[in-house]
Structure formats: structure tokens, C-alpha cells
Structure 1
Amino acid sequence: MGKGRYLVKRLVYIVFVFFIISILMFFIYKSMPGDPVTMMLGESRNSMKPEAYQALYDRTRQELGLDKPLVIQYLIWIGNMLTGDFGYSTQYKRQVIDVIGTPMLNTLKLNALSMIVTFVVAIPLGIATAVRKNSVFDKFVQVITIVGYSLPSFIIALLFIFAFAVKIPIFPISGVQTAGFEGNGFEMAMDTLWHMALPVIVMSISGIGSITRYVRAEMIDVLRMDYIKTARAKGLKEKTVIYVHAFRNALIPIVTIATAWVVTLFGGSVVIENVFLWPGLGQMLINGLLQRDFSIVLTMQMFYVVLSLTGNVIMDIAYTIVDPRVRLEN
């Protein structure tokens, strides 16, 4: 099966799953208790006469299309979403497209830096522990990675806040930049990185733990292979044996794990963003749920759905790049 045909097949699959999940998400959230119009109008009820408030309430429901049957609401919502209209935010009283840009950029920054830190640390660490199997260094790293992988991220976040923001106040614990800070572009970037330090470290710990262990396990298996023994017998340098011959073959299952982890990273960042008050999609999602701002919530959820489905396709294609013997139909 050629890549073009495969991509068409996967695209059909993605579209089908997208619509099924969109239906489930829409009706689940619409069945939640709480009225978005009541949340939107806030304290207006206390300052208006009952008749005037009811008229305003009914008019607002009509303007938002909430007076229509749920099936009609879904068809309108999905049709608008496919054309780039994500609806009206009852919380921010603006179009979703106008309020989602900055939080999405903040989330992408946080996750991108976490991915870089994780892979830069985990892959060399996994190789080093595999090469030094059963050494003191290997056992020490195994203990640390198990702890990092096992502890919930919010527990790690609270421990780091207590250690590096309360006891030893090195890092800030909230926001993107220091309030009232003024400087040139470089200074602003450094200030942002300073604020990102703790959440990035916390988000990376779990990934470093899991990916290090996977890299170690795969490298140990590959280093036992006969062709590795042959390469060493031919007198090849140890670095060539490890990084050219062994690591390339160990990459095949690692690609699958790494791609899946990247997808779950975005979902896991919801917790971290709320612990560190990072103004990203995660914080917006929680606030949207609390305020029954279903336009925001559904947009966030469908973003994660598309990310997950796209990640699966990228994982399959990356698999064939790492190992040309693998065919897409398999």
C-alpha cells in the first residue's frame, strides 16, 4: 500500500472517529447540570425586575441558539466548527476564536519545551544505563526514574513549589511574566523562560522516567543481538556500535512510545497549568467547565481529539521511516 493511499484511508478513519466523538462530547456536555445563560447573566437577576430578567434570559437563549432542539444545536455547532466558527464564549462574552489564540500559544510553548527537555535527557540517559547495565549508576537511575514515573504530576508539582518557590524562592509559581516587568525582547524571553522553568521540569519528569526506561530496555535487547557481537568482533569503535548500529534498531519501538507520550503530554498539561496558574488551554478548559462555557470546552476537547488522531498517523509514518522494512499496511 502506497503512502498516498494509506493517508487517504487514515483520513477517512479520522473523519469518522472525529464525528463520533463530537456527537458523544456534545451530548455529554449538554446534559451536564447548570445553565450557561444563567452563568453569563451573573448578578443581573438581582438588579432587574423578574419580568425584565426573564425577557433578557429568553432573548439571550434565542441569540445563542439554546432554544432549539439538541440535534439542531449539534448540527449548527459542527457545521460552524468545520468552517472555523467555534462559537460564542458565554464566559468571556466574545467569539471563541478571539480568546483562544494566546492560551493556545502558551500551551504550545510549555509542551514544546517539555518535549525538548524530555528527549534531550531521556534518550542519552537510557543509552548510558543500558551500556552500564547493573552498575551503581544504572541502579541509581532506575530508582529515580521509577519514582518520577510513579508519582502523580500534581504531587511532584506541589513538592517542587514547596522546595523551590517557598523554602528556596528561586522560581516564580504563577503567570507567564513578572508583573510590571519591562525590558527588551531578549530580557522578556528570559523572564518567560524563568516562569516556565518549574512547570516544564515537572512535566518532563514523568516523561523522562518512562522514556528512559523504554530506551534502556530496547537498547539492552538490541545489544544482545548477534550482529552487534559481529560489529564488535570486526573492531568497530564502541561509539559506532552503540549509536549507529544498536540505537537505530532500538528506535523502532521507541518511536511508538515517544509519539504516544507526546499526545498524552497535552492532556496531562491541564493539571500542571492549573497548579502553576499558567494561562493556557488547560486553565481555560477548567474555567469553562466551571462556568458551563460549552463553546470553550467543546473546542478544547475537539482540539485534543484532532491532536490524538493526527499523532497516530504520524506515529505510523515515523515507524516506516525508522525501519523501511515496515510497510504501512502492517
Structure 2
Amino acid sequence: MRAFLIRRLLQMIPLLIGISIFSFLIIKSAPGDPTIVYIDPNKPPPSAEDMARLRAQLGLDQPLHIQYIRWLGSALQGDWGFSLTGRRAVTAEIGDRLPATLLLGLSSLMFALVLSLPIALLSAVRRYTLADYFITTLSFIGISMPGFFLALLLMQVFAVQFRWLPTTGIRNVRESYEGFAAVLDVARHLILPTLALGTASLARWVRYQRSSLLEVLSQDYIRTARAKGVPEGRVLRIHALRNALMPMATLVGLSIPQLVSGSFIIEFVFGWPGMGLLGVNAALKRDFPIIMGVTMLSALFIVIGNFLADLAYHWIDPRIRYE
């Protein structure tokens, strides 16, 4: 197990470097000039010499491989550069937005985890009944519906029509709440983004868990336990759920990329002040340092998520050994 952990940790290094190279080349190949953000529309346009001097100051006149080596060297030292639009350090910009993204991601993850198991269990135990068909239909709808469309639909129903929940932001800017009232205000703003981001994962996990439960419930040891008179509730809790949860550990880890990528669109739609909204705005303005910072941090979350999924798989079933 120790050798496996060390090997997986070492594998993260070339993987992240490869992601950084690919992202760097894609961003640099995009059309447009990032120095345009420095041009003041209220002043006369700068001369060609001024623009060339600015490109030299930003290091944009160097070959791509030199630019990448310089960026990588600075990044390894904790210097991710400065935002071209915000004029602040990238680490400061991301640090201000990261808590909001973590809050949204964790709430969506918990929403899907808490509801998926009982719904899947109900569907598996009552398979081929009206309840099973209803759950299956809703699951397929949840899987196939685009996240941005669901976000707009939720906003239209609960915010525009009924006016039960706010549409944008993380808190009410018109009121100044304190203590528990401030927590409730953030929670109200969190409901719609959580539903929009977590519904696809919930629908996917219900389908996977239902299939896993049906497979486990057809095993010989389940039939043996029932033949011995073991109560049905104990059969489900002790024998079925433990074995059905094993694939779920990997599935949760593999769902983290969808949560990370989905948060970009959801945060943009709801104006949620997180890392996703920062990344989208940076892409629209060609703010290269912010884009690279957001991309690499997102990649790090994904790699760590897959690593934790392997650990959870081993924890659920200690019989598994990694060579």
C-alpha cells in the first residue's frame, strides 16, 4: 500500500506538467492580443513602439518554450504572476474566489451523495414497479439535461415566477446580515446553484447504484442470508449496501471533473463569485495568468479526487491490495 501511495503521488508530477504544457499552448494559440487590456479607450491609441515595449515587459516577445519555462519556474516558486485586468497577484485573486467554489462544490457533492443512495435503494428494491419507472425516467432526464439549461429553468421557476430564492451572488448586497442571519442568507443563495450543479451527478449515481444493488441482490450470499431468516433490513444494510458502495467510491472520484468543469458554467449563470466565474471572465478578456492559475488548480483538484477515490476503494474493502 505504501509503495502504491508513493507511486501515485509521483505520477501526479508529470501529469500536472503535461496538463500545464497543453493548457499553455492552447491559450497562447487563441486569437487576440492580451495587451489590449492595457489600452485606455479614453486616450489616444498607443504607438507601435509602445505596444512592442509593453509586449517585451510582459515577456510576450519571447518564443513559446521560453515563455513556458519562465512561467513554470515562477509557478514552482509560488509566483503565478499578476492578473492583466485586476492588476493583482493571481494567488490573491484565486484565494478570494476559492472558498465560494469549495462551498458550492462540496454542497453539490453532499446533495448528490445523501440523496442518491436511498433513491437507488428504493428503485432497486421495487424494481419494475411504478416507483422504479418514475425514478429511472427522472434519472435519464437529469443525465441528459444540460447544466446551463437546468440552471436557467430553476432560476425562472423559483426566482422569477415564485420569487422564493435569489438569482445571483452569494449574499444580499442590499442588506447587512450578521451571525446566523448571514449564514441563512448565504444558504438561500446557495440552493439554486447546488441543485443545478448536483442534479447531473445525482442522476448518474442513482443509475449506477441501482445497477450495483441489483447485481449484489442477485448474489448467492444474499439468497443464503434470506434463507436463514435474516431480516430484510439487515440483509440490505449489512450485506448489500457495503458491497454495492465499492464502485461508488471510484464513481465519486471520477465525478469530480464534472463538478469542477460544471461549476464554471453554473457560477457564470448565477453570478456566483467563485473560481469558475473568475476563469470565464479571464477567458473572455484573455487574462492569461488567471486562466493558467485556474486551470492548474482545477487539474490539481481532479488529480487529488481520483487519488482519494482509490484510497476510499481500499478503505471500503480492505481485501484489495495494490501492487
Aligned amino acid, residue 186 of structure 2: T
| Farther off after superposition, 257-266 or 288-297 | 257-266
Aligned amino acid, residue 309 of structure 2: M
Q: TM-score, normalised by structure 2?
A: 0.95
% identity of equivalent residues: 37
Q: In the alignment, is residue 240 of structure 1 matched against residue 254 of structure 2?
A: no
Paired with 1:96 and 1:60, the residues of 2 have a C-alpha distance of 19
Give the equivalent residue in structure 1 for 2:9: 11
Paired with 1:49 and 1:162, the residues of 2 have a C-alpha distance of 43
Paired with 2:3 and 2:73, the residues of 1 have a C-alpha distance of 27
Q: Deviations over 1:42-70 (max 9, x none)?
A: 42xx514745x843x34433332223222
Give the equivalent residue in structure 1 for 2:162: 168
Paired with 1:17 and 1:316, the residues of 2 have a C-alpha distance of 17
Q: Once the 2 structures are TM-superposed, how far is the Cα of residue 111 of structure 1 from its aligned partner?
A: 0.7
Q: Once the 2 structures are TM-superposed, how far is the Cα of residue 126 of structure 1 from its aligned partner?
A: 0.6
Distance of aligned partners of 1:50 and 1:254 in 2 relative to their CA distance in 1, 3 Å threshold: closer
Paired with 1:308 and 1:114, the residues of 2 have a C-alpha distance of 16
Q: Is the 8 A contact 2:107 2:194 kept in 1?
A: yes
Give the equivalent residue in structure 2 for 1:34: 32
Q: TM-score, normalised by structure 1?
A: 0.93
Q: Deviations over 1:148-174 (max 9, x none)?
A: 111111111111111111111111110
Q: Deviations over 1:206-258 (max 9, x none)?
A: 11111011111111110111111111122222111101111101111121112
Q: In the alignment, is residue 122 of structure 1 matched against residue 120 of structure 2?
A: no
Equivalent positions of 1:249-264 (< 5 A) are: 249-264=243-258
Give the equivalent residue in structure 2 for 1:22: 20
Give the equivalent residue in structure 2 for 1:47: 43
Aligned amino acid, residue 110 of structure 1: L
Paired with 1:150 and 1:232, the residues of 2 have a C-alpha distance of 38
Give the equivalent residue in structure 1 for 2:197: 203
Q: Is the 8 A contact 2:94 2:294 kept in 1?
A: no
Unpaired runs of 5+ in structure 2? none
Paired with 2:75 and 2:49, the residues of 1 have a C-alpha distance of 30
Unpaired runs of 5+ in structure 1? none
The DSSP-based 3-state class of the residue aligned with 2:245 is helix
Equivalent positions of 1:1-330 (< 5 A) are: 3-43=1-41, 47-48=43-44, 50-51=46-47, 54-55=49-50, 57-329=51-323
Q: Is the 8 A contact 1:157 1:199 kept in 2?
A: yes
Q: Deviations over 1:104-146 (max 9, x none)?
A: 1111101111111111111111111111111221111111111
Paired with 2:188 and 2:6, the residues of 1 have a C-alpha distance of 44
Paired with 1:142 and 1:240, the residues of 2 have a C-alpha distance of 25
Q: Deviations over 1:174-229 (max 9, x none)?
A: 01111131122211111011011111111121111110111111111101111111
Q: Is the 8 A contact 1:36 1:293 kept in 2?
A: yes
Distance of aligned partners of 1:47 and 1:206 in 2 relative to their CA distance in 1, 3 Å threshold: same
Aligned amino acid, residue 299 of structure 1: G
